Amino acid sequence: MRQTHCSTIMRHARNDILDALDECKERQELLTDIDEIAGWKNRKLHMLATSRRENDIEESLEPLVNDQEKICIQSALVNDEGCVSA
C-alpha cells in the first residue's frame, strides 16, 4: 500500500465501502491491505465490505469482525446480482 494513501487515511475520518471483494483481480493483496488497515485501530475509519461467500474472504475477515457486525443477505430471495425478488 502506498505510504501517502496510508497517511491520508490516518488523518481524516472516513467511511469506505468495498463492494464485491470476490470480483477483485488482486484479491489476496486487497485482503492483506484490509488486515493491515484494521491493525491500525483507527476509530475514525469505518469499512463496509460486500462479497459473495468465498472461503478465502471469509477466513481473512473473520478475525476482524464479530457476529453482531456481520449481515448475511444471501438467501433464496436474493439473486446472483444481490437483488431481492418478491
Query: For residues 65 and 71, what is the distance between their CA atoms, to the nearest angstrom?
Result: 11
**Domain-located, residue 28:** yes
Interior/surface letters 44-61, b for 16+ CB within 10 angstroms, e for the rest: ebeeebebeeeeebeebb
Residues spanned by the domain of 7: 3-69
- Decide if 44 is inside a domain: yes
Q: Note the pLDDT tens digit of each residue in 10-67.
A: 566 788 899 999 999 999 999 999 999 888 887 888 888 989 889 999 999 999 888 8
Residue 85 included in any domain: no
**48 falls within a domain:** yes
Q: Structural domain tally of the chain?
A: 1
Query: Which amino acid is it at 12?
Result: H
pLDDT of residue 9: 53
33 inside domain: yes
